[in-house]
Structure 1
Amino acid sequence: MAHSSRAALWRLRLCTRCDWFRSAPSKARTWSPKSRSFHSSSAKRTDGVFRELTAMRVRTPWIEALRKQQAEGKDPTAASGKPEVPKDRKLSPKRMDDSYHSVVLPLAQDPWLLDTYLNSSGHIRLGTIFMDLDALSGIIAYKHTGDDVTTVTASCDRIVINHPLTEICDLELSGKVTYATGRSSLEISMQVAKAPKEGEEVKDQDVLIHCTFTMVSLDPGTKKPVNVNPLIVETPEEKRLFKLGERNSKIRKQRKETALIKHTPNDLESDLIHAFWQKQLLYHDPYDEQRKPDNVHFMDSTRLQTATIMMPQFRNRHHFMIFGGFLLKQTFELAFTTAAAFAHARPTFVSLDPSTFQNPVPVGSILYLTATVVYTDPPLIGAPGEQFDQESKYTRVQVRVDSKVRDVEHGRSKPTGQFNYTFTVEKNIRVMPRTYHEYMMYLDARRRAEQVRQTLEEEGVELSPKTAEESVTE
């Protein structure tokens, strides 16, 4: 009884104070030192996309979207079969600058925002930056296509470190559509750079990351590709960017046409497989003095796997699918962990090589990721005439992450993407395949490494391992 009386007295006092606060003049609204004030702390989100990008990505609370879906009784991930995009819609050409968008991450100004971007060693988590880049690519794509279509990430052609950061600073993320012929796909070029001072332009040496994403526009009803606005190309710089888009498109088509899933290895690659097989026999011959060196590891011993249930907090703007940036972050951090476990050294990110998004990942499904070290450079065995420093203390490690998805009941699974990351480690270490499946993974990675090396040489983008190690990024 005494307890209820005290509670009633406290409510009466609180109501009296509230009435006084509403009626008293503003200058008189002060509390005595003994008064207890109520306050709420500012939001301190962790492990999420920058709020300015999130606001544009998610527009409806999950509970509302879920209740609407339950009331309609339809599977939101399935195609309705009814076209929702008019066939005669106007697709007037657009300029590159029409889709330009930029956002500044005030990491140096906002300690709590910085808190969401740092790892345990104080380095900026690149996986979180990748999430932001994918969210930004969606904004840019819809500025070009409009909201009538569904635009999804088809591939990440590459993400490359141009100039490492040497200090924590504000970052500007920016980009625009740089290649669109009028068909369903469009290429978006983006960069991450030190935020310039007001009125100044970004300098080349301040660009941390350059990347390109390929997006595909679909009819929301049929889930089939639909045409989008072509680009108007005018200035020399725009022509250069458009030409790069053409080249990337040709490389993607060529990669599909010559894929090992369709064709047998060429003569040089067959010789490499035979050489690896011979080397493997030597390692297992009990009558031979040669044994597997300590710096050589079989490919199957490098494998790491995870399983994660997909939560609605990482959905895309269509509510029931996970947005691609979350997959990039998850695959990057697993690849980083795999490279570190393989080398027993801290990896330095070099590039995300051409990677594909094959199928969407529904909210509520189980995502399985499998990471494997598939290639090291310098290699254990080189092709005839290939020159490399076998004693180099630095090794480039390529990690392939395969993803698949199942529903909670663990029905049929389907692949959702393949992601290819390259890191540098200060270690002389080699990977060795020993099954036919691993040989194919090794050869595919070798082709990818050669292709990326040629592209970077053409554009003059190459970092020394020592310079990359000094970066404040992961």
Structure 2
Amino acid sequence: MALKRLSQLPRYSWPRTTASATSTARQFHCSTQQCTDGVFRELTSMRVRTPWVEAFRRQQAEQSIPTQPSGKPEVPKDRTLTSRRSEESYHSVILPLAQDPWLLDTYLNSSGHIRLGTLFMDLDALSGIIAYKHTGDDVTTVTASCDRIIINHPLSEICDLELSGKVTYATGRSSLEITMQVAKAPKPGEKPRNEDVLINCAFTMVSLDPGTRKPVAVNPLQVETDEEKRLYALGEHNSKIRKERNQTALIKHTPNDLESDLIHAFWQKSLQYHDPYDSLRKPHNVHHMDTTILRTATIMQPQNRNRHHFMIFGGFLLKQTFELAFTCAAAFAHARPTFVSLDPSTFQNPVPVGSILYLTATVIFTDPPLIPAPDEKVDQESEYTRVQIRVDSKVRDVEHGHSKPTGQFNYTFTVPKSIRVMPRTYQEFMMYLDARRRAEQVRQSMEDDGIVSPKAAENSVTE
């Protein structure tokens, strides 16, 4: 029925005009086409462009289910996988934000700040280009996780930006790590200075057989220079951290002694707040976790599909989850949040075109915490609070049949306010403790990379 309606759409043609007619007719022109609220065009130039209606017709003609694997292997088992150098996968593009006001118009929010969610979408598209440069087009490469996105040096003015990256870790198995950065665009022939780097990030990609959707081996990485060895060692470290995090996850193990003591201390504090014989009451700047929740439901349209046509582009999910997390932090603090980092986050399942995406954002940790550990040094008088937002996503079909989780995203913001979150159910305590562990890792990584002061971050032209 949908195809029938599409085929019945009228086809228009412009009438020809004579020379005399054109001399007296009003002349019209249009500005250069701009992609509003989408991926920077240069990052999609390598894709095979197929209109949605054609992809849809082809899928119907083949009577295939695009969300299900065909089961027929398409990648030869005996293919040769030679090692490749990191520089072979290097790719960079320039975002001319300072030169093109109409392009800049698609990257700004209502307060004149650069929308980081849109930059994250570009970074995910860039990671796909880099991955295929390393693996080739025989495999399907998808985003498995975002290991980190960190603000290094806040921008003080609108300028052209260079997005660049390359494969920095690949052992020859199915996964590879891609390291990217966003920096002030350098002069031709020069490299960005360290103080000009706005964002550093790392994405883990997994290569799959297009037919079976099972992981397949890819080319190992050949490292030669000291810098390549350093980045490769960092990739090994990130891989080790991911495995350790999975092994010690609270879903598998009970909280340790310190964490159990914190749960007990929160329970005691809650009793104290409600004890009629105790004068202590819950302060106005303390909020229960369940009161911070924000939810959205969105139908996934084909305009946000990936290069394989029937799944939603991972960068779009990053943008959606970031903007919901930003809104959640703002609603919680009643102040403008400033982005600090995207902590290790996972893409669990693909999101099909036409499905319903449900997002749930919750404030799960604040630093300084309401109740610190016995040996933890915190500044309870600080005018700034670091707020961690967890966004859980799940997807259902339109008929609301089966649902499945699609990912968990962990964003950290700074707000210019003293405000605290307090869990009160066992599930909330587990979310709080998981966030506390993640905050420790973020704190450590920021000490290694250099801490951006909240005041400097607040004055940035980015969100």
Same fold (TM over 0.5): yes
- Determine the C-alpha separation between the residues in 2 that align with 1:408 and 1:57: 28
Structure 1 residues 58 and 366: CA distance shift in structure 2, 3 A: farther
2:180/2:200 contact within 8 Å kept: yes
Pick one of 443, 455, 461 that aligns with 1:453: 443
Distance 1:59 1:237 in 2: 37
Deviations 1:92-144 (A, max 9, x none): 00000000000001001111100000000100000000000000000000000
Q: How does 1:16-55 map to 2 (within 5 A)?
A: 16-17=18-19, 31=23, 35-55=25-45
Within the candidate set 394, 398, 418, 2:388 is matched to 398
Q: Which residue pairs with 1:123 in the alignment?
A: 113
Counterpart CA distance in 1 for 2:365 and 2:233 is: 30
Asked which structure has the greater CA Rg, the reply is 1
1:153–1:324 contact (8 Å) kept in structure 2: yes
Once the two structures are superposed, the pairs formed by residues 420-439 of structure 1 within 5 Å of their partners are 420-439=410-429
Structure 1 stretches lacking a partner, 5+ long: 1-10, 22-30
Correspondence for 1:199: 189
* Residue in structure 1 matched with residue 4 of structure 2 by the alignment: none
Counterpart code for 1:151 = T
Deviation at 1:57, TM superposition (A): 4.2
Where does 1:168-183 land on structure 2 (aligned, <5 Å)? 168-183=158-173
Deviation digits for residues 371-402 of structure 1, max 9, x if unmatched? Answer: 00000000000111111111111000000000
| Runs of 4+ in structure 1 over 4 Å off | none
Separation (CA, whole Å) in 1 of partners of 2:41 and 2:296: 28
CA deviation string 1:171-190 (max 9, x = no partner): 00000000000000000000
Distance 2:87 2:304 in 1: 29
The 5 A counterparts of 1:145-294 are: 145-294=135-284
Shift of 1:54: 2.4
The answer on 1:329 being equivalent to 2:319 is yes
Counterpart of 1:47 in 2: which secondary structure?
coil
* Structure 1 residue 407: Cα displacement: 0.4
- Secondary structure at the aligned position of 1:56 is classed as coil
CA distance in 1 between counterparts of 2:31 and 2:380 reads 56
Give me the whole-angstrom Cα distance separating, in 1, the residues matched to 2:109 and 2:263: 40
1:351 is aligned, of 341, 345, 349, to: 341
> Aligned partners of 1:390 and 1:35: how far apart in 2?
72
* Offset of residue 43 of structure 1: 1.6
1:241-266 residue CA offsets vs partner (Å, 9 max, x unmatched): 00000000000000000000000000
1:471 equivalent to 2:460? Answer: yes
* TM-score with structure 1 setting the length: 0.93
Q: Distance in 2 between matches of 1:195 and 1:57?
A: 25
CA contact (8 A) 2:35 2:41 kept: no
Task: Select which of 445, 451, 460 maps to 1:462.
Answer: 451
Hey, what does 2:55 align to over in structure 1?
A: 65
Q: Percent identity?
A: 80
Is the partner of 2:400 in helix, strand or coil?
A: coil
The Cα of 1:53 is off from its aligned counterpart by 1.0
Distance 1:82 1:44 in 2: 40
Cα distance in 2 between the residues matched to 1:15 and 1:473? 50
Counterpart contact for 1:58–1:319, Cα < 8 Å: no
Output the CA distance in 1 between the equivalents of 2:269 and 2:226.
52
Contact kept in structure 2, 1:357 and 1:418, CA below 8 Å? yes
Residue 337 (structure 1) shift: 0.3
Amino acid at match of 1:313: Q
2:351 maps to which residue?
361
Deviation at 1:15, TM superposition (A): 2.6
C-alpha displacement at 1:288, in angstroms? 1.7
- In the alignment, the residues of structure 2 paired with residue 415 and residue 57 of structure 1 have an alpha-carbon distance, to the nearest angstrom, of 28
The letter for the 2-side match of 1:16 is: T
User: Which residue of 291, 297, 306 maps to 1:301?
Assistant: 291
Structure 2 spans left out of the alignment, 5+ residues: 1-13
In the TM superposition, what whole-angstrom CA distance separates every residue of 1:53-98 from its partner, at most 9, and x where no partner exists? 1233462211111110011111011011111100001100000000
Are the equivalent residues in 1 in contact too, given 2:351–2:395 (CA < 8 A)? yes
The one-letter amino acid paired with 2:375 is G
Structure 1: distance between partners of 2:185 and 2:325: 29
| Aligned CA distance change for structure 1 residues 169 and 146 (closer, same or farther; 3 Å) | same
CA distance in 1, matches of 2:282, 2:432: 19
**Corresponding residue SS for 2:18:** helix
Give 3-state SS (helix, strand or coil) of 1:286's partner.
coil
Deviations 1:312-351 (A, max 9, x none): 1111111100011000000000000000000001000000
Following the alignment from structure 2 to structure 1, what is the Cα–Cα distance between the partners of residues 35 and 79?
A: 41
State how far apart, in whole Å, the 2-side matches of 1:362 and 1:56 are: 22
What is the one-letter code of the residue matched to 1:48?
G
Matched, 1:102 2:102: no
Cα deviation digits, residues 138-185 of structure 1 (max 9, x gap): 000000000000100000000000000011001000000000000000
SS at match of 1:210: strand
Cα deviation 1:173-209 (Å, max 9, x = unaligned): 0000000000000000000000011122111110000
| SS of structure 1 residue aligned to 2:374 | coil
Distance in 1 between residues matched to 2:109 and 2:149, nearest whole Å: 20
In 1, Cα distance between the equivalents of 2:290 and 2:84?
A: 49
Query: 1:5 maps to what in 2?
Result: none
